[in-house]
Structure 1
Amino acid sequence: MNDRLPMRPERGTPAKPEGGTPARPGPRSPAHRTADGSGPVHTAGSLNFTESVGTREEVWDRLGPKIQERVNARIGRVVEWWATDVNGRNAAAVLGTQAFVTVEPTVNAAGNPAHEIRTLKLDESTFRRATVNAAATPPAPAGRASSGPGSGPGSGPGAPTTPLTRRLDGGMTGFLGNLPARAQQLLQEPFLTDDGELWHDFYYFRTGSPHALNGSTLRVWCYLANRRYVTFAAGTGHGYRYDTGPRSWEVTCWRAEVVGR
């Protein structure tokens, strides 16, 4: 683990993503509970790609030194992170050994652009990590190749609901549905019965052409968090194609207990 996020982009950072940062996936997908009751497994939503805004290192740099210093002062050692553009404004999510920190664009009392920094302090001794290696799931719905933003009225008729699924929007459930079932379970398990405030978000980009012989590479990150737990995942989907998704997955999931804000 690195001690700090870079104050400037490091040499050797990944090439700019082809396909860029995401619009949200398509309509909310039905969920079903697994046989052991460990949590909902969602159907994959469409992954819609927009123009590139640069690597995560380049976006992090655009947040500026003051925000970078505030985040680095709270997180301890870096575990995983992403940074991206949200409607022309920069944002980030950072999982550290001492805190989970999100940076979201907002406006201040004067109506000027600003950033909200949310910090959840973590108990480092409670960190748990699991790696999920999985072959491709069955092909996703035909809407996967859509280039436009997703839309939909909500979950399908008869789709089961839980305190958790009622608090996840269609974008989040559609994104989760692209991940292996076990990764979905690990991310959601701490939040199945709680009905309090829940924060969640995700980010992904693609490099290479999905029309190439071996497909392209899909990189993904996401989190779920409340006042008691944070779960976070980072993964790579190999051989990604629009109609079938990745050929295989490597996903690492983390979980830690929150001890304060």
Structure 2
Amino acid sequence: MDASVPLHQPGDMLFNAPMTREETWQTIPKRTRKKLKRRSGKPIDWIANLGPDGLPWAVTFGKRGLAAYRTNFDVFSFDFTPGSLNRVPVDGGYPSDTEPPEDSMPVDPPDLGINQEDYDILGNLPARAQRLLQLPFLDGQEVLSNCWLYKGTLERLDEFMFYLAGPREVTVATGTMAVTPGGTAHWSLTCYHATVTHTDAPPKRP
């Protein structure tokens, strides 16, 4: 693990989703749902929600790839190189790895080209999870697609998924979170990484 990857600061986690992922999933055409499942293969996790425009979107993550859909766009996917998907369990709170030495110089977190809200969510994760998610994108690989979703309360998340997807690699974190009696958030995550053989993802909007 590259301990030199800077960490992001945690931001607020809001709980105002108008629909559950199951309810949102049912609003997506059946043909599209089948296509998402076919593109991603044997399921590992999935998310669905309404966008700022009130229209549904969904992401399925499986053994074959990561597939995404948003209304008015066709399904696109990141197809994994067979056998390249690996997983690393990560348990702990922020930052949970190692504190920087007191005499170390501060380092700005990497600019991944994602929204501040995305950085805020990323910053809540344990240090090791942050590093595993970001590492493939520190050499200039563009993040073509990214999203996240969680379900629960400030004290407990029963569902959580965060992903970054580029033309060559995809990273995903899934799991749960519970606040300990001492008031510390403890995450139980699985971080995934896979190389990409093909993607038909559209160019990221500026």
Match of 1:80 in 2: 45
Regions of 4+ moved over 6 Å: none
In structure 1, give the amino acid aligned to 2:3. D
* Contact preservation (8 Å) 2:175, 2:188: yes
Counterpart contact for 2:36–2:67, Cα < 8 Å = yes
Q: Could you say which residue in structure 1 is the equivalent of 2:178?
A: 238
* Helix, strand or coil at the partner of 2:38: helix
Q: Secondary structure at the match of 1:42?
A: coil
Provide the aligned length of Structure 1 versus Structure 2.
Answer: 188
Equivalent position of 1:99 in the other structure: 65
CA distance in 2: counterparts of 1:72 and 1:166, whole angstroms: 28
1:136 to 1:231, Cα distance in 2 relative to 1, 3 A: closer
Matches of 1:132 and 1:216, distance apart in 2: 17
Per the alignment, residue 187 of structure 2 pairs with 249
Identity in percent: 26
SS of match in other structure, 1:223:
strand
Give the structure-1-normalised TM-score: 0.65
Q: Give the alignment's TM-score, normalised by structure 2.
A: 0.80
Q: 1:59–1:90: 8 Å Cα contact kept in structure 2?
A: yes
Q: Distance in 2 between matches of 1:260 and 1:181?
A: 30
- Equivalent residue for 2:25? 60
Question: In the aligned structure 2, how far is the partner of 1:247 from the partner of 1:59?
Answer: 28
> Are 2:127 and 1:187 aligned?
no
1:35–1:93 Cα change, 3 Å: closer
| SS in structure 2 of the partner of residue 68 of structure 1 | helix
Please tell me whether residue 174 in structure 1 is matched to residue 120 in structure 2: yes
**Alpha-carbon distance change, 52 to 240 in structure 1, aligned in 2, over 3 angstroms:** farther
Residues 146-169 of structure 1, C-alpha deviations (whole Å, 9 max, x = no match): xxxxxxxxxxxx96254xx15132
Seen in structure 2, the aligned counterparts of structure 1 residues 234 and 42 have a Cα distance that, compared at 3 Å, is same
Once the two structures are TM-superposed, the CA of residue 74 in structure 1 deviates from its matched residue by 1.6
Unaligned residue ranges in structure 1 (runs of 5+): 1-33, 106-113, 139-157
Cα drift, residue 199 of structure 1: 2.1
**What is the RMSD of the two structures over their aligned residues, measured on CA atoms?**
2.5
Indicate if the aligned counterparts of 1:216 and 1:239 stay in contact, CA closer than 8 A: yes
Shift of 1:42: 0.6
Unaligned segments of structure 2, at least 5 residues? 97-105, 200-206
Residue aligning to 1:36: 3
The structure-2 alpha-carbon separation of the partners of 1:72 and 1:195, relative to structure 1 and needing over 3 Å to count, comes to: closer
